[in-house]
Structure 1
Amino acid sequence: MSTEKTEALVIRLADFSESSRVVTFFTRDFGKISALAKGAKRLKGPFEGALDLLSECHLVFIRKESSALDLATETQLIRRFQPHGKNLSSLYAGYYVAELLDGLTLEDDPHPHLYAAATDALLRLSLEDDHRLPVFQFELRLLHEIGHLPSFEACEICGRPVDSGETARFWVSQGGLICDKCGRPEYEHTSIHPETISVLRNLLRPSDVSSPSDPSLSSSSSLPLPPLASRELRRLLTAAIAHILERRPKMLAYLKF
């Protein structure tokens, strides 16, 4: 057993006893972990009220070598998630971030860039009244980090680059865009219009020229998001995520795009 320190987001809580909880954390250095927090329900204790859902904290925990739960021994609050104003969509969007982190990441698989993307998304959901761009950007980073980001540059059938001015198709089983020439009649309902492709590519534009494979998630808060692009992005990303989860994410039922 070893004692570890890291920064963490609380992404799930489950009662264990009258005074304790099992907490699922998404950590900066260790990825997703599940830990027993003894006395977490007490008003006074080593957790200082830092175990609310979506709270960011400094975490101290003891790693177990067997299949037993890790043991959380101390937390110090960094930031508590506060959705923007009285906007329930921002609250539900925060819960959606937690659902995706829990459902699409593996135990003990660190993704520090994804941790940064999640904390960035939650901060923006606290500051901005429109939840759509923070959610879209987080979903794209998540798919990128776990190796399931579809290709949005060339046709997956013929390999021809998809021009930004043409209407393409998106078929999740193909793993990306299908150009207009390769689109068959059964793909008609999956149309992705030029303005949506433009928005999508802007969302994926690198923030650092030295890291061209790293999508930007913090420089597009003022990016225009036309209604058509919002609807098509939602359909595209829902299809990609549901394909991996093998179900539609539950919190999407509460979000409007």
Structure 2
Amino acid sequence: MEFSEKVLVLRVGTFREADCWVRFFSPTHGLLTAFAFGGRRSRKRFCGCLDQLSLVHFRVSQGRQEYLCLQEGTLINGFGELKRDLKKLGMVSNCVRFFESLPFSPDGYAPAHELLLETLEALDEERPGSWFIPLMFRAKMAFSQGYQPDLQRCRQCGGPLDAHHRAVFAVQEGGLYCLRCPSGGGAKISTSRETLSLLHGLARSGPREWADWVPSAKVREECVRLVDAFVQCHLGLTCEGNRFVRS
């Protein structure tokens, strides 16, 4: 395998003093690890490219023992503003840990790469980042991987949910029921109209817009419960502190 494209560098480590391993995400090949032999000493081939959380154009080839080698790289964006802000760095680190834990299918590589890149670009802007962004990132990532529920109509009768002050989210079914219809089996979460409106807006927006969202305490609490349950059920990941583990 040999290719050349823009990728997102997620992690970098050093071995044998001058050599590096680089974990990156490609929009066409997914999550990969490759070696940059002599990378710490070669400014010509890898100037500024071997830092985590960077957008880089890499030329990648396959070695004799079937491992991937980085031949050269060009830095596209180092996200300097983001890296100078510890609060934002903490947010994006949470997003990346979640991202690395996901089992992507090939048709999900490109939308996943696009969403992570948009999140990095949004947090790199000179304005405060919302602590809500990591949660929104998890929900949007689930939506982008084919798990987006219908947030406007009842799964049973097809009626508009905004006609009711609350609805019932059936986690296993990945759908919502109005209060007049019996929901399916499994876990259920009572959800307000305001929370559904926020999640519907999330499905139609990007990370740059999330920074301005200031939901009420009730909506924040409901979003946390709903998104965590949805991600656990459909993506198989549970949040434990700052880690995401397979459930």
Question: What TM bracket, shorter-length normalisation?
Answer: 0.7 to 0.9
- Aligned-pair identity in percent equals 24
Counterpart for residue 118 of structure 1:
116
CA contact (8 A) 2:122 2:207 kept: no
Q: Secondary structure at the match of 2:59?
A: strand
Counterpart for residue 94 of structure 2:
96
Distance (Å, rounded) in 2 between the aligned partners of 1:63 and 1:96: 31
| 1:152 maps onto 2:142 in alignment | no
Distance apart, 1:34 and its partner CA: 2.1
Change (3 A) 1:250 1:38: farther
CA contact (8 A) 2:142 2:148 kept: yes
CA contact (8 A) 1:137 1:203 kept: yes
CA contact (8 A) 2:161 2:193 kept: no
Change (3 A) 1:16 1:69: farther
Distance (Å, rounded) in 2 between the aligned partners of 1:96 and 1:183: 33
Change (3 A) 1:251 1:151: farther
Bigger mean CA deviation after superposition, 216-225 or 118-127: 216-225
Distance (Å, rounded) in 1 between the aligned partners of 2:13 and 2:201: 39
Change (3 A) 1:51 1:180: farther
Distance (Å, rounded) in 1 between the aligned partners of 2:226 and 2:65: 37
Distance apart, 1:137 and its partner CA: 4.3
Change (3 A) 1:243 1:230: same
1:12-51 equivalent positions in 2, closer than 5 A: 12-42=11-41, 44=43, 46-51=45-50
Q: Secondary structure at the match of 1:173?
A: coil
Bigger mean CA deviation after superposition, 4-13 or 131-140: 131-140
Distance (Å, rounded) in 2 between the aligned partners of 1:74 and 1:247: 35
Q: Give per-residue Cα distances to partners, 1:31-86, cap 9 Å, x unaligned.
A: 3222122223447452213222211111111146x993321111221222346587
**CA RMSD, Structure 1 to Structure 2 (Å):** 3.4
What amino acid does structure 2 have at the position aligned with 1:233? C
Change (3 A) 1:179 1:14: farther
Q: Secondary structure at the match of 2:50?
A: coil
Distance (Å, rounded) in 2 between the aligned partners of 1:58 and 1:68: 21
What amino acid does structure 2 have at the position aligned with 1:114? A
CA contact (8 A) 1:125 1:131 kept: no
Distance apart, 1:194 and its partner CA: 1.5
Q: Secondary structure at the match of 1:153?
A: coil
Counterpart for residue 212 of structure 1:
none
Distance apart, 1:108 and its partner CA: 5.6
Counterpart for residue 178 of structure 1:
177
Change (3 A) 1:250 1:87: farther
What's the TM-score once normalised by structure 1's chain length?
Answer: 0.76
Alignment partner of 1:78 out of 76, 83, 93: 76
CA contact (8 A) 1:28 1:112 kept: yes
Distance apart, 1:235 and its partner CA: 2.1
| Unpaired stretches in structure 2, ≥5 consecutive residues | none
Q: Secondary structure at the match of 1:146?
A: helix
What amino acid does structure 1 have at the position aligned with 2:58? L
Distance apart, 1:94 and its partner CA: 0.9
